[in-house]
């Protein structure tokens, strides 16, 4: 009989200890954020999808060496370039990123020896259409400059 009552007492005690802890938490500062009304800034090293870097003239720094394309484990980068007449260097004519296959590993940025690629800070990338994730990075660069 004594054991029966002691068990009831222990159960009640556990309940009140638990309630006490939750009650204390009630007065602690709020740690959550009312997203999407407020958003946090991504840290400096955040790895979003890749983005081209421009030189002083606003042209992409990329010299079409194809290192990023070879490094990509998922074949999501397609780029093309041509040599303008009288020039020794290749000029980038298209840079397509298939974001549907990208897993944000950053191998392309690491493979780039010319400091021509960086990570963007974008993370609000939800869409119902697949086509929204085929990025034309050259066009994005032009849009950014205009």
- Report the residue number, 1 or 17, with the smaller CB distance to another protein: 17
Query: Using the rule CB under 8 A, is 16 a contact of another protein?
Result: no
Instruction: Give 76-107 as a DSSP string.
Output: -EEEEEE--TT-SS-EEEEEEEETTT-----H
Closest CB 34 distance from another protein, rounded Å: 16
Query: Using the rule CB under 8 A, is 125 a contact of another protein?
Result: no
User: Residue 76, annotated ligand binder?
Assistant: no
In 3-state terms, what secondary structure has residue 134? strand
Residue 41 DSSP label: P
- How far apart, in whole angstroms, are the C-alpha atoms of residue 134 and residue 44? 25
Asked if residues 92 and 84 have their Cβ atoms less than 8 Å apart, the reply is no
Longest dimension (CA), the chain: 101
Interface with another protein by CB under 8 A: which range of 50-58, 102-110, 127-135, 138-146?
102-110
Query: Using the rule CB under 8 A, is 3 a contact of another protein?
Result: no
Closest CB 10 distance from another protein, rounded Å: 5
Q: Which residues bind another protein (CB under 8 A)?
A: 7, 10-11, 13-14, 17-18, 21-22, 25, 31, 43-47, 71-73, 103-107, 110, 119
């Amino acid at each position: 009989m004594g054991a029966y009552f002691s068990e009831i007492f222990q159960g009640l005690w556990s309940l009140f200890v638990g309630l006490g802890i939750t009650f204390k938490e009630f007065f602690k500062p709020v740690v959550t954020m009312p997203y999407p009304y407020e958003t946090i800034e991504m840290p400096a090293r955040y790895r979003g999808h890749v983005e081209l870097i421009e030189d002083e003239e606003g042209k992409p720094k990329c010299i079409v060496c194809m290192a990023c394309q070879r490094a990509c484990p998922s074949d999501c980068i397609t780029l093309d370039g041509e040599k303008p007449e009288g020039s020794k260097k290749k000029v980038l004519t298209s840079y397509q990123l298939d974001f549907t296959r990208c897993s944000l590993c950053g191998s392309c940025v690491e493979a780039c020896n010319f400091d021509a690629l960086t990570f963007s800070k974008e993370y609000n990338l939800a869409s119902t259409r697949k086509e929204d994730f085929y990025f034309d990075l050259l066009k994005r660069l032009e849009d950014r400059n205009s």
